[in-house]
Structure 1
């Protein structure tokens, strides 16, 4: 159980949540929703004991599995499979068993007998903790989340941000199943955008897992199908009022109830404003007569009190006005790459990749998770160096790179400093106006980028692209973390952009908006003309 009392959350001087009491209980499956920047991620972090509230307190009883938007660093030298098994303390024993097994193959006589006895003792403890059955269970969860054996055998540092996040999700679910099976206190899952980086099959499996989860669950997601299938309660974080509206009902009923609430608020305000206007008009008439000044003053006070007691009417949520830049002039082929290969340790990601990005061309990179799509964009963007081959800038190349894990942002720098760094020669007032169109207030200019929500980081990174005059955009999952309205703005910007685009995405809508001409299939590096047949692979890859 998690109980918050008198909770107040702030981002700088901005109040996100004021004097709120909420509780997560066994069997609650809560969808935490609200517009980007409302404070959903901050709320989840505080409930998970990874953030400090401005005021109020949070009490927790039982284990918590928290999946943040950004992948945890942790022990980057740990093997991915061991990271999952560590949720039940099995990783150490698996390592010990492997070590003793190697010793047994090298020893003879009494030393072999001693090693065999040690192996038996460790294996007995291993079996008492679920042992091989638990390993099989972990493998099943990992497989359903698209984590192949070759990925699980790698150190965490060699994995992409999306792969590390899936390992963390597997670890959390593996621990939750153990708690449920042991008959003890159920794990409480706090999941922030858990479907990011998952393919369609993995999303379907996760949806089914959460539907039958018996512990407490709070989930932040822009996946409406997931919310409709899973949640039995909804917390709506109203960014206008700084309040949390609790709806003890399913997603479909919540949508109807919220619409009804909004209509009621508008009617109440319209009636109150009409009555207050009549009182003010009457007060103005009475105020002209000295003998009735006191009565006029009372009417003014009554009108002001009437208006101040009303909830704010929620205006339509503003949407970032995203327009990618008009591209700077460049040569016929501003970016080329030849014979690119990349290996992490003994794992070969891809080899012999050639490509030429012509002026205004539109290319989609496809491949299953772990095939190297993000790695290829990092090589093209100069974020990493290839093991073989080279990337060459053509005449007039001006590159814009959007990283799915927001690596281009400095988390310790402010919103303003990040934007100024992206466009050091731009006019300061124009940059401030640009940030305004991306929904950043003057108060947020001094807010560290690391404290922003996933959606706000996405908007800040996109603002950095727009402030440039890039003629080649490298876009890695640009629609992740965005609410539906902001996503549509990004898709519209893709349709209108006249420069070249190299796109990595699981979002079929983004591919359709791009109208690609070519596709590159990894890890083979095969290039082909785009056809509708490839669209089905977008969600699967």
Structure 2
């Protein structure tokens, strides 16, 4: 159970939300929606206890499972399975069992007796926590999220960013928490995993608050919608399912517009009449009363919801380059005995469009990092061609220095621009005023996406490496990114689960990992996109 009282949320000096109160109890399934940057992630962090409000309070009873947009995975040497089991403390119990089993083979009789006692205690503790059925439950949840047994036996450091995020989601779902707070849980999930997650959350009996741009998930799971209105700094509560919310919200917007139009018309009439009467001394008091009445009419209205602003994203003309600005030969990558891919060759011609497909964990992000020069291959090499200017968009936002401000990150990306031009560019990506001085670490996922895209735009790159560029974006912002991809004149190498992004790219070639098979694009490959 969560109880929020008189909450005020700020980002620096900017007011995001004021005087907000609500509860999340068993059976409440709340979709938290609003445009990127409205404050959804900030509010969720506060509710989860990861951040402090400007004022107000949050009371938490019972365990909470919180999945942030950028999950922390703990010790990277931990096995994926143990990270999930740790949600119920089972990792340590199983470790004690394994150690006791080893000691039971000792030649020392006293040591064997102590080991058997330790085994019995650990076994009793395991049974109290659900026994081996709980371990099977964890494996079942992980498998449904695209984490097979071989992945569960690997250290976290060997997993891709998408796999680590799914480990964290599996850990939260396995935790038996009474309340779940999930921020974009479908990121990095394939179509089958998303379908399973919808069913799981629909049957969940605890409290749920979820931020998601996946309307299918919201439609299948939520029975309440909280709309965070960035223009009014208010939380509009709709105690209804998703479809009814969409209809009701449109009705509310029409009502607000109609009320404002009527009030403005009456106020205009009153002010016009007051102006006429004010010229006569005998009617000055009546005129003042009319003017005050007009002011009250306007002041009493709810502010009309302004059209949500969207960053205008247009990649500039690419810098001149040679015929083949980037090539890669015989690339391979392994983590210990685990071979990710081997013998990958790739040539990126000027203006070409290439999409990289493959199952999660096949090495798509790793390959992009190699092409960007951020990760060395085990074998082979990446060769820059004449005039190459690379722009890399990382799904985990690694290109952003979280220790620097928004403005400082942009200056680093475009050192040749003066501060006025940098601020103007940031303004087009909806960073203005004090927003540009915010440390990047406090930005929401959507805001980090906007900053990373802004840094990409000023790079004048002729080869763009894009890793899941539409994650964390609301529909309007996603449409802007797709339009930018569609109109860009340089070369693009794209990794995505988003079918719309591939349609916008209109790829001429496809590279399938881990085999490294390169082929001309055909619609037959489309079914691999959401499985990737």
* Deviations 1:184-240 (CA, angstroms, capped at 9, x unpaired): xxx100100000000000000000000111111001100011111110010111111
CA distance in 1, matches of 2:419, 2:351: 29
Aligned to 2:279: 288
Is 2:456 the counterpart of 1:465?
Answer: yes
Aligned to 1:383: 374
Q: CA deviation at 1:297?
A: 2.3
Q: Could you tell me whether the CA contact under 8 Å between 1:319 and 1:485 is conserved in 2?
A: yes
Aligned to 1:84: 84
TM value normalised by structure 2: 0.97
Q: CA deviation at 1:114?
A: 4.5
Q: CA deviation at 1:164?
A: 1.7
Q: CA deviation at 1:450?
A: 1.6
Aligned to 2:145: 145
Q: Could you tell me whether the CA contact under 8 Å between 1:286 and 1:292 is conserved in 2?
A: yes
DSSP 3-state at the match of 1:536? helix
Q: CA deviation at 1:432?
A: 2.1
* Deviations 1:142-185 (CA, angstroms, capped at 9, x unpaired): 00001122222222233232222111111111112xx6xxxxxx
Q: CA deviation at 1:276?
A: 0.9
Aligned to 1:539: 530
Aligned to 2:352: 361
Aligned to 2:472: 481
Q: CA deviation at 1:108?
A: 6.5
DSSP 3-state at the match of 2:343? strand
Q: Could you tell me whether the CA contact under 8 Å between 1:491 and 1:513 is conserved in 2?
A: yes
CA distance in 1, matches of 2:105, 2:504: 59
* Deviations 1:317-339 (CA, angstroms, capped at 9, x unpaired): 22221112211001111111111
DSSP 3-state at the match of 1:322? coil
Structure 1 unmatched ranges of 5 or more? 180-186
Pairwise CA RMSD: 1.5
CA distance in 1, matches of 2:70, 2:47: 17
Is 2:322 the counterpart of 1:325?
Answer: no
* Superposition pairs of residues 34-433 of structure 1, within 5 angstroms: 34-105=34-105, 107=107, 111-112=111-112, 114-176=114-176, 187-433=178-424
Q: Could you tell me whether the CA contact under 8 Å between 2:267 and 2:298 is conserved in 1?
A: yes
CA distance in 1, matches of 2:131, 2:519: 47
CA distance in 2, matches of 1:352, 1:95: 38
Q: Could you tell me whether the CA contact under 8 Å between 1:90 and 1:131 is conserved in 2?
A: no
Structure 2 unmatched ranges of 5 or more? none
Any runs of at least 4 consecutive aligned residues in structure 1 with deviations exceeding 6 A, and if so which?
A: none
DSSP 3-state at the match of 2:17? strand
* Deviations 1:4-40 (CA, angstroms, capped at 9, x unpaired): 1111101111111011111111111010011111111
Q: Could you tell me whether the CA contact under 8 Å between 2:9 and 2:55 is conserved in 1?
A: yes
* Number of aligned residue pairs: 532
DSSP 3-state at the match of 2:96? helix
CA distance in 2, matches of 1:118, 1:7: 49
CA distance in 1, matches of 2:94, 2:461: 50
Aligned to 1:182: none
DSSP 3-state at the match of 1:539? coil
* Deviations 1:244-292 (CA, angstroms, capped at 9, x unpaired): 0100111111111101100000011001111111111122122222333
Q: CA deviation at 1:102?
A: 3.5
Q: Could you tell me whether the CA contact under 8 Å between 1:325 and 1:465 is conserved in 2?
A: no
TM value normalised by structure 1: 0.95
Between 94-103 and 49-58, report the one with greater CA deviation: 94-103
Aligned to 1:28: 28
CA distance in 2, matches of 1:168, 1:234: 25
Q: Could you tell me whether the CA contact under 8 Å between 1:104 and 1:115 is conserved in 2?
A: yes
Q: Could you tell me whether the CA contact under 8 Å between 2:103 and 2:111 is conserved in 1?
A: no
* Superposition pairs of residues 498-513 of structure 1, within 5 angstroms: 498-513=489-504
CA distance in 2, matches of 1:282, 1:449: 53
CA distance in 1, matches of 2:450, 2:518: 31
* Deviations 1:84-131 (CA, angstroms, capped at 9, x unpaired): 001111101211222333344564766445434433442233223222
